[in-house]
Amino acid sequence: MAPDLFLTVLAFTTSAIVNPKEVETHVSGNDMGSTWLTDHSAGSGPYILAKWDRNSQIVLKANPNYWRGKPAIDTIIIKHVPEPATQRLLLEKGDVDIAFGLTIDLIDQIKDKPGIRVMSYPVLQLAYIGMNVNNKYLSDERVRTAIKYAIDYDGIIKDILRGGAMKVQTIIPYPLLGFNPSTPFYRDINKAKQLLAEAGYANGFEIELAYPAGAHPQEEIAQKIQRDLGDVGIRVVLRPTAASEMYQRYRQQALQMVLAGWGSDYPDPDNNAKAFGNYRIKQLAWRNMWYDNTSADLVERAFRESDRASREALYKQLTEYILQLGPYVVLYQVVQHVAMRTWVENFVPDPSFGTYLHLYKVYKEAVVSR
Amino acid sequence: MALVVIGIATIVFFVTRVIPADPVGAILGPQAPPEVVDRIKREYGFDKPVYQQYIDFIVNLLRGDLGRSISTNRPVLEDIKERFPATFELATASLLIALLIGIPVGIISAIRKDSALDHMLRIVSLFGISMPVFWLGLILLLVFYYTLGLLPGPGRLDPYVREPPRITGLITIDSLISGNMAAFINALSHLILPASVLGYLSSAYIARITRASILETLKQDHVRFARSKGLPWREIVVRHIIRPSLIPIVTVIGLVYGSLLEGAVLTETIFAWPGLGSYLTRAMVFMDYNAIVGGVIVIALIYSIVNLVVDIIYVYLDPRIKYG
């Protein structure tokens, strides 16, 4: 196993260190203390979980014994405010300092207001279309390439996501090792039509696209893709499906085309490479029935490669291979926005889409009058 | 009542199992490997045949165990115990506001039928029925919290207020019991906006039924007789009109209260109110079998209890009604 990969996973939240003595006193049954840990801290981080009122708030207290010293802020309250418009009112009023859940419309409305600062940063999440290669039409590489040329990527990014995305077409997100900035596909109707004609589908065909029902911006994107592919003669039937049902059918390899996303489970290229490239572990490649051994072997070699430069070269080869031949249209990488009061200092955003907060250095500038 | 609850539980149990969805997959998300999905399915017993799951479910239900929620990984009963007081507090405050508005409006507009006042009141209550709750909620927050600063923002209590110990789960009652007046006033002021939204919306139904019911009574012989006797109008209204009109009104109040107690998703969302409505909605989105069935059982119980109370009130209102 590559040492970089091992260290990355070790340093990530999934393998957080807890005090065994403390946890062992709270074991019930064979849960290894996990029930108790849901509501208590036994780690060595800068903050301690003081209280968790489900769906209401999480209260964190500064850890006086933290190895780098006690953090500047005593108490941090993470409030559950499901409605974005309410979050905006709270932020503008100054009753909250940081708001994570604002929609792009709200971000646009407040970003220039005095006292408010907006940070935008890419997170390790890709949106893609999966194409099941068991399908009669999608099994043809020319058809898949035609679809890649039929989609208006810039339109999706500029008009639908409006700042909520960056253009990425390869399977490893920025800025991980092996990120490949190549974006060769752009909307070219003639080229797409020509490829379809070569494949014998000059008159197009009908295909289903599943997406999570009622989800935004997926719904808007699915409609846009229906129009884009319609322009080259591919008649897309939209199948909005409840997420619980969609993923079950996806796992059963039962979807034709699907609009979905992949967030990296740990910040190392291995995670995305495995999911998209190695059918043997039964993730995305398998669900789209892309049983490609060249790709799977590359993923496994990169997993074992201990030299960083050689590993990077392997990922370059892999991303290029999947970009051209893989059963995916990678549409974009998600860009997240966080709005905060200007009195918040040293906030460091984390690309792992909000599961990890770096709060040790955060502090608030003294506010004289409000 | 027990039969009603078991019947409803059975229907909901089978409806959730018939839908071709995979609750485990939905919770674990698209990335979980199949081994993990299978392991969690075994843990929750979803791999057993449906009849076996049903038997387990009924046996547990009779023991008062609603199973574990797969999305919160806690017993459903614990979740509901945590959520229900918030909903109960809000629903009761809303009902009080609805009654304070609905009944007088209904009476006045029936007695002054077709006057300008009647038309105005009817338009106001029509607004109540047709107003989108999220719009009204946000506007009230914008005006009373953001612009005027008269009332607190969303949530049940401000973070700087010392929280009362959890006794009933109703913050207003708990703070009174523990003598924490600051928390009582703060909790009460947090209730005003969401309860006004829900109360205003519900008052429209109550006002309409009150008006219709009183108009109906006005046409009856005993009212004409009372008037011909020369009784003062005020006395006729109070003694001969309102009381006989109350039966349909009480019925509607029962229904309104029942539906308020189910929780109100949109109001809860806007006011960050941790109630039953958002819990159930989330359970449905994730096909959280046990939480859905448990939630529906609780709602069935609430309706049964409210109906029972309404039936008892009938007896007091109309001496002719007797339950044998």
* Domains, chain A, with CATH or none: 18-121+338-364 (3.40.190.10), 122-334 (3.10.105.10)
Size of interface A-B (CB pairs under 8 A): 100
Confidence (pLDDT) at A369: 45
What's the rounded mean pLDDT across residues B211-230?
A: 88
Q: How far is A38 from chain B (nearest CA, A)?
A: 10
Whether A82 contacts A297, CB under 8 Å: no
Confidence (pLDDT) at A54: 82
Q: Does B78 touch chain A (CB under 8 A)?
A: no
Is pLDDT of B295 > 70? yes
Using a CB-CB cut-off of 8 Å, the residues of chain B touching A87 are: none
Identify which has the larger pLDDT, B191 or B220: B191
Name the residue facing B22 among A82, A86, A247 (closest C-beta). A247
Looking at chain A, how many residues does it have? Answer: 370
pLDDT in tens, B68-84: 888 888 899 999 998 99
**Alpha-carbon gap, residue A321 to A292, rounded angstroms:** 11
Name the residue facing B25 among A247, A260, A281 (closest C-beta). A247
Any residues with CB less than 8 A from the CB of A267 and at least 6 apart, and which?
A8, A12, A124, A176, A351, A352
CB within 8 Å: B72 and A82: no
pLDDT in tens, A74-130: 999 999 999 999 999 999 999 999 999 899 889 999 999 999 999 999 999 999 999
Give the CA angle between residues A296, A297, A298 to the nearest 5°: 90
Q: How far is A55 from chain B (nearest CA, A)?
A: 6
Confidence (pLDDT) at B61: 87
Any residues with CB less than 8 A from the CB of B63 and at least 6 apart, and which?
none
Query: How much is the pTM?
Result: 0.85
**Alpha-carbon gap, residue B309 to B323, rounded angstroms:** 13
CB within 8 Å: B272 and A243: no
Three-class DSSP category at A34? helix
Identify which has the larger pLDDT, B264 or B31: B264
Q: What is the 3-state secondary structure (H, E, C) of chain B?
A: CHHHHHHHHHHHHHHHHHCCCCHHHHHHCCCCCHHHHHHHHHHHCCCCCHHHHHHHHHHHHHCCCCCECCCCCCEHHHHHHHHHHHHHHHHHHHHHHHHHHHHHHHHHHHHCCCCHHHHHHHHHHHHHHHCCHHHHHHHHHHHHHHHCCCCCCCCCCCCCCCCCCCCCCCHHHHHHHCCCHHHHHHHHHHHHHHHHHHHHHHHHHHHHHHHHHHHHHHCCHHHHHHHHHCCCHHHHHHHHHHHHHHHHHHHHHHHHHHHHHCCCHHHHHHCCCCCHHHHHHHHHHCCCHHHHHHHHHHHHHHHHHHHHHHHHHHHHHCCCCCCC
Collect contacts of B76-83 with beta carbons under 8 A, ≥24 apart.
Answer: B76/B290, B76/B291, B76/B294, B76/B295, B77/B294, B79/A54, B79/B279, B79/B291, B79/B294, B80/B276, B80/B279, B80/B294, B80/B295, B80/B298, B81/B169, B82/A54, B82/B169, B82/B274, B83/A55, B83/B263, B83/B274, B83/B275, B83/B276, B83/B279
Question: Beta strands A328-341 and A165-166: pairing type?
Answer: antiparallel
Burial of B117 (0-12, 13-18, 19+ CB in 10 A): middle
ipTM over 0.90: no
Confidence (pLDDT) at B38: 84
Whether B206 contacts B251, CB under 8 Å: no
Amino acid type, A355: T
Confidence (pLDDT) at A367: 56
Q: Mutate which of A37, A248, A271, A283 to disrupt the B interface (most B C-beta within 10 Å)?
A: A248
> Which strand ranges, in their side-by-side order, compose the sheet holding A75-79?
A47-53, A57-62, A75-79
Q: How far is A285 from chain B (nearest CA, A)?
A: 12
What's the rounded mean pLDDT across residues B225-254?
A: 87
Q: Which residues of chain A have pLDDT under 70?
A: 353-355, 367-370
Any residues with CB less than 8 A from the CB of A219 and at least 6 apart, and which?
A211, A213, A240
Is pLDDT of B137 > 80? yes
- Angle, to 10 degrees, between the axis of helix B243-261 and the axis of helix B76-111? 150
Confidence (pLDDT) at A270: 96
User: Cα separations (Å) of B271 from B21, B157, B324?
Assistant: 31, 11, 46
CB within 8 Å: B145 and A93: yes
pLDDT in tens, A209-242: 999 998 889 999 999 999 999 999 999 999 999 8
Question: Beta strands A205-212 and A75-79: pairing type?
Answer: unpaired
What's the rounded mean pLDDT across residues B219-237?
A: 85
Q: Could you check whether the bond before residue A175 is cis, i.e. omega within 30 degrees of 0? A: yes
Three-class DSSP category at A198? helix
What's the rounded mean pLDDT across residues B32-54?
A: 83
Question: Beta strands A47-53 and A57-62: pairing type?
Answer: antiparallel
Q: Mutate which of A247, A264, A284 to disrupt the B interface (most B C-beta within 10 Å)?
A: A247
Any residues with CB less than 8 A from the CB of B285 and at least 6 apart, and which?
A242, A243, A244, B26
Give the DSSP H/E element, type plus range, for residue A144: helix A141-150
Q: Does A89 touch chain B (CB under 8 A)?
A: yes
Using a CB-CB cut-off of 8 Å, the residues of chain A touching B157 are: none
Q: Note which residues in 258-287 of chain B have CB less than 8 A from chain A.
A: 269-272, 274, 278-279, 285-287
Confidence (pLDDT) at A370: 41
